[in-house]
Structure 1
């Protein structure tokens, strides 16, 4: 009897423990991570064998499955007390993905088509089920853009779309007809002429029988514009063309600037060299200004050339461990150009004398240059009143120290690095002709003789912009800064030849001026440093 009672007690006691049950876990899709009571167990599909120790601490097991891109799921099951197999199936639900749509310009209409359709305007962010969608972005006066995208679970897809404007139509007529039409300096046909043009600003020139007329116009997307130009019976002087374009560009569109200077009487300016102190400048026109560094390695001349006044300026500044060189070419006519160029070099000198210290970093030097250019730009604009309205200036600068040059440039004055009889580096002009050359619309030879080569696109006081360059120097290198009175009239081969033959900076500078004076129609300025 006692044995029977003991056997019954043991049966009841041990019947609460696991004999060896199994829980089969299946997920759709497979390969999800399976967790039992928060502890990783295996990847699905898998069989969970009930451990004996679980019965001591748990009556219920919590089974959770996780898979990237899908919402996590869990189920609770009782621990079996007898040996058997239980099957649990999890049907996983995908997480949404995110679609970001950005357009340039913004505010475009968006249609997203997939399982359902979504609409909105850019910039737009949508939560979407995974899958493939067609995205269409449309804006008035622009070509619609349509593309296919795949949205992945729990991922963000960013779609950046630059909308292409629909061309505008430009109708150009002239009186008389059959005149040659130049658009931004490129011959496009004869009047009357219809052109399909990308939106933007254009300089239109019509010419016939050596007579001209010009204007500027902004072409808008999907619009038709009409330009009618009357061509004078007699030839229009080129200086007048320059004046017209300057007024149109400076007072109207503000994209291109003509380098307008007060014309001379056609005779040469005096070639007598007048030496003045570096810190003294006069508003009175002088045949030439000369500057040189303390050690004679840098030398500069600014000559009046065939003009009534000199709107060029230059700077040679001795710093504790470096040279600062600059050439500025003023524009605006009357006395405005020389005022603008003077402000530019004075501001450059002021900033470096105040802030430069021996051994400052190259990054600091670049910041000084950008600060000086910006400050000069603001000062010129502030002083551009009355007869000086619209004045501006180019400015090219070279900071030279320890076998390196940091060059800054605005406009079409240039910096050259000449080595072993070759130009190894040169700044790029901010000019209409340079833009045409970059686009392959004209050749190098055509650029050198192009009638519109004096249209510049950046100038301090008018439209700010500065390029920075870093040049590695070697012993014997020559750094040359020049206004366009030199490089527009003297071929680069001649410039390199004179620079290579000169014994020192002064001989090179004087040789370049002498070469330019018989042919230039402008002020001419050069600054030379021999490394």
Structure 2
């Protein structure tokens, strides 16, 4: 199974800076995306720390010679990376008053053979488009999602309810972070969409599906998704990271293509 990647991030129309960060490594099938939070530039610091630490550790570990990585081993490594990123952000916040209260969501994917091992904390999402059907394969760690799970709200009601951005989990907030990790089989032709809530707050799942169906080119898909989110208000930073299964691999240099401000 071969994978092609493309990513795009945009500050949106309201915010002065971009607190999203993302990165991918085509050769090793690693894709990581984060949405920071906190005053001043603290959110930007938290998201960049998380993405850079998790990406570099995963790339280093997956690059080791003569090592076969089972999905369960990848899952354990993902959990370790999340834990290390959590403590690094927490320690930085405790050491610098300017960074007090900063945190970040994080979605990290490892596409390994015919499997996807996916870890996440917070409300940044991953969708899968398969045979024309778009499925959200992460569940938001948010107060609204807990109300949906408890039966107090339907998913449709939650889309318009207040308090959409109240998270129940984030990196850099507590000493221990609960990471949700799942393994997914990958099929030829699958398209995976990792994104921050700057996209999903502006577009419905139906809107996202429409853009995915409009183009076969990943660059055009990402461009249209971001443009439509801005057209609908662009109230937050917008980031999209796409992974296509089954296409010929793109050539890449020795250095991973990194996105997001360091």
User: TM-score per shorter chain, which class?
Assistant: 0.7 to 0.9
Match for residue 302 of structure 1? 9
> What is the rounded CA distance, in whole Å, between the counterparts of 1:350 and 1:388 in structure 2?
23
- Of 34, 40, 44, 1:328 maps to 34
Match for residue 251 of structure 2? none
Q: Which runs of 5+ in 1 are unaligned?
A: 1-294
- Of 85, 94, 98, 1:376 maps to 85
DSSP-derived class of the 2:219 partner = helix
- Of 216, 240, 248, 1:526 maps to 240
* Greater per-residue strand proportion: 1
For 1:452-488, what per-residue CA distance to the aligned partner results, in whole angstroms no more than 9, with x for missing partners? 0110010000041210111111111110000000011
**Relative contact order (alpha carbons < 8 A, sep ≥ 6): 1 or 2 greater?**
2
1:75-474 correspondence to structure 2 within 5 Å: 297-305=4-12, 306-319=14-27, 322-356=28-62, 357=64, 359-384=68-93, 385-463=96-174, 464-474=177-187
DSSP-derived class of the 1:517 partner = helix
> What is the rounded CA distance, in whole Å, between the counterparts of 1:346 and 1:333 in structure 2?
21
For 1:388-432, what per-residue CA distance to the aligned partner results, in whole angstroms no more than 9, with x for missing partners? 101000001111122211110000000111112212342000000
Judge which range, 303-312 or 495-504, deviates more. 495-504
Report if the CA contact (8 A) 2:120-2:138 is conserved.
yes
Report if the CA contact (8 A) 2:3-2:29 is conserved.
no
DSSP-derived class of the 1:341 partner = helix
User: Which has more radius of gyration?
Assistant: 1
* Greater per-residue helix proportion: 2
Report if the CA contact (8 A) 1:485-1:522 is conserved.
yes
Report if the CA contact (8 A) 2:107-2:120 is conserved.
yes
DSSP-derived class of the 2:69 partner = coil
> What is the rounded CA distance, in whole Å, between the counterparts of 1:425 and 1:487 in structure 2?
11
Match for residue 149 of structure 1? none
DSSP-derived class of the 2:239 partner = strand
> What is the rounded CA distance, in whole Å, between the counterparts of 1:394 and 1:407 in structure 2?
14
DSSP-derived class of the 1:417 partner = strand
For 1:136-159, what per-residue CA distance to the aligned partner results, in whole angstroms no more than 9, with x for missing partners? xxxxxxxxxxxxxxxxxxxxxxxx
> Stretches of 4+ moved more than 3 A in 1?
none
For 1:171-201, what per-residue CA distance to the aligned partner results, in whole angstroms no more than 9, with x for missing partners? xxxxxxxxxxxxxxxxxxxxxxxxxxxxxxx
For 1:210-266, what per-residue CA distance to the aligned partner results, in whole angstroms no more than 9, with x for missing partners? xxxxxxxxxxxxxxxxxxxxxxxxxxxxxxxxxxxxxxxxxxxxxxxxxxxxxxxxx
> What is the rounded CA distance, in whole Å, between the counterparts of 2:3 and 2:179 in structure 1?
29
Number of residue equivalences = 235
> What is the rounded CA distance, in whole Å, between the counterparts of 1:455 and 1:491 in structure 2?
19
> What is the rounded CA distance, in whole Å, between the counterparts of 2:215 and 2:114 in structure 1?
21
TM-score, with structure 1 as normaliser:
0.43
CA RMSD of aligned residues (A): 1.5
> What is the rounded CA distance, in whole Å, between the counterparts of 1:345 and 1:510 in structure 2?
22
For 1:268-290, what per-residue CA distance to the aligned partner results, in whole angstroms no more than 9, with x for missing partners? xxxxxxxxxxxxxxxxxxxxxxx
For 1:36-65, what per-residue CA distance to the aligned partner results, in whole angstroms no more than 9, with x for missing partners? xxxxxxxxxxxxxxxxxxxxxxxxxxxxxx
Alpha-carbon distance, 1:440 to partner: 0.8
Q: Which runs of 5+ in 2 are unaligned?
A: 246-262
Report if the CA contact (8 A) 1:417-1:424 is conserved.
yes
TM-score, with structure 2 as normaliser:
0.86
> What is the rounded CA distance, in whole Å, between the counterparts of 1:479 and 1:370 in structure 2?
21
Q: 1:454 to 1:405 in 2, by over 3 A?
A: same
DSSP-derived class of the 2:243 partner = strand
Q: 1:369 to 1:415 in 2, by over 3 A?
A: same
